[in-house]
Amino acid sequence: MRCLFIIMTLFISALQAQTELIASDELVLAGELRDAALKDGTGYEILESLTTEVGPRMGGSPGDAKAVIWAKKKFESLGFDRVITEPVNFPKWDRLNESARVISPFPQNLTITALGGSIATPEGGLTAKVVEFSTLAELMEVPDNSLNGAIAYISNRMERTRDGSGYGPAVAARSGGANAAASKGASAVLIRSIGTDSDRLPHTGMMRYVDDITKIPAAALSNPDADLLSSMLRRTDEVTLNLLLSVGFVGKATSYNVIGDIVGTERPEEYIVIGGHLDSWDLGTGAVDDGAGCAITMAAATLIKQSGLKPKRTIRVVLYANEEQGLYGARAYHEAHKAEMKRHIIGAESDFGAGRVYRFSSRVKPGALGAIDQINQVLAPLGISRGDNNAGGGPDLIPMRAAGMAVATLHQDGTDYFDLHHTANDTLDKVDPEALKQNIAAYAVFAYLSAQHPGDFGFDLGLENQQEN
Ligand SMILES: [Zn+2]
């Protein structure tokens, strides 16, 4: 019996050396950390503070500047060992005024919002006939310059799914609708909001012009207003609408990535990178996008520190600047830390609201899959299952993932996420404090065990890079 035990022990330690496993006492500590996180209110307090004391914080706005000061102070008051700010430059876009009104044959106001990056309409607005297309593809099929100055209206509705997979196909109308419409001779583009709700609140979000195509104004109708416009167009194809957008780029802005470190005891120069993006759109208070991600990761690192655990590697929380308008903070972070990118051991960003985590996926070298399975064992009691080894990691990790960094995704239930995303309804009351705690527990376990993992997770895996939606 004793002999068998010794053989078993030798076998297990040989296996551990071979596949670089995390020590089992660390798994026990991580389990205690997880259970403590489920009873801790720090994350919700952080989110309540951000949405109350700062609120909307569109990149380059006064709210954004306030958010940077808030984040710095919050990291300090939470007891982080080191707080760093790094500048991020980008063009500043502003929204002053926006409205839409059907002039004839059924005069009514419509609820719209300009898409981020849009140019303005002429003063007093632009009045033209509306032509509906059921999809972006349908718009692209009509002959070039055939719309004669009409407003192109793209009416397809995004599909509701748990994993957010309805977003990718639908969002093409937002990002590229103006270019397609302009090439067909339209004077403006209106889209049905990229959202799953039935609230009379439009969803904003970034659009982008391409060179060599005329720039035309672009806006989104709330879902009920899109229905209304389609109903009018079922009665007649002579619907005239006035669209007024007083928006546009106004010079340059500087914001900051705000970084909080819990410095590692044995490998302080190696980083486990978690975080969210500090900016939001201007319409809501950015509770789910992405105040939640900031709060979840700040609270997870705080809990590790406060529990007295000693992470061997540095746990770094990065609050990225201006994700919404084009990953500006993420690109600036990558640029500033290029030389030490290989010391970024693994990363995960929380940027999909505050719904419960249900799956854990990774993108690591094969030799690290054993450690990932161990992390998953500690996550499993939270209702989290093991996903595949092709994780995206989150939008702000795109530049670092492309550079070779290993990543993980803690997949959140996003069933309701696109009811709120980029709308005035993105407010604190939509966040379930218990679900937030479950997220924090998951991030704390992931970050702590990744810091204690004796091996690495691989770098430059040579896998094909995928685009995050
Ligand atoms: Zn976001």
Closest of 371, 361, 352, 340 to residue 407, by C-alpha: 361
Q: How much distance in Å is there from the Cα of 349 to the middle of ligand 1?
A: 10
DSSP 398: H
Closest CA to 289 of 305, 303, 304, 278: 278
Tell me, what's the pLDDT at 339?
97
Give the three-state DSSP class for 93. Answer: strand
Q: Which residue has the tokens 């404090």?
A: 433
Report the separation in Å between the CA atom of 405 and the middle of ligand 1, taken as the mean of its atom positions: 21
> What is the C-alpha R_g of the chain?
24
| 260, two tokens | 């909080």
351 CA to middle of ligand 1, Å? 5
**Matching residue, tokens 């376990």:** 445
Q: Compute CA distances 189 → 113, 131, 146, 220, whole Å.
A: 12, 10, 14, 9
User: What is the C-alpha to C-alpha distance for residues 301 and 308, in angstroms, rounded to an integer?
Assistant: 11
Q: How far is the CA of 421 from the centre of ligand 1 (A)?
A: 8
Tokens of 49: 């503070």
Could you tell me the CA-to-CA distances from 302 to 288, 297, 309, 320 in Å, in that order?
20, 8, 11, 18
Residue 466: predicted pLDDT: 47
Write out the residues surrounding ion ligand 1, Cβ under 5 A: 289-290, 351
- Ligand 1 centroid to Cα of residue 4, in Å, is 54
What pLDDT, on a 0 to 100 scale, did the predictor assign at position 461? Answer: 75
pLDDT at 348: 98
Residues 6+ apart with CB under 8 A from 69: none
Active site residue 323: yes
Å from CA of 105 to ligand 1 middle: 39
What is residue 468's predicted lDDT score, i.e. its pLDDT? 40
State in Å: Cα 291 to ligand 1 middle. Answer: 9
The span from the CA of 321 to the CA of 229, in Å, is 37
Distance 329 CA to ligand 1 centre (A): 12
Give the amino acid at 203: H
Distance CA 365, CA 369 (A): 7
Distance 324 CA to ligand 1 centre (A): 6
Q: Which of 323, 463, 443, 462 is nearest to 395 (CA)?
A: 323
Which of 26, 270, 323, 468 is catalytic? The answer is 323
What is the reported pLDDT for 465? 47
- Relative to beta strand 188-192, strand 151-154 is parallel
> pTM, whole model, 2 decimals?
0.94
Question: Ligand 1: distance of its center to the CA of 3 in Å?
Answer: 56
- Rounded Cα distance, 7 and 1, in Å: 10
The per-residue pLDDT for 460 is 85
The residues of the chain scoring below 70 in pLDDT are 1-19, 462-469
Please state the length of the chain: 469
* Residue 422 CA, ligand 1 centroid: distance in Å: 9
CA of residue 253 to ligand 1 center, whole Å: 20
CA of 323 to the centre of ligand 1 (A): 7
Point out which residues pair with 188 in neighbouring strands: 151
Q: How far is the CA of 265 from the centre of ligand 1 (A)?
A: 32
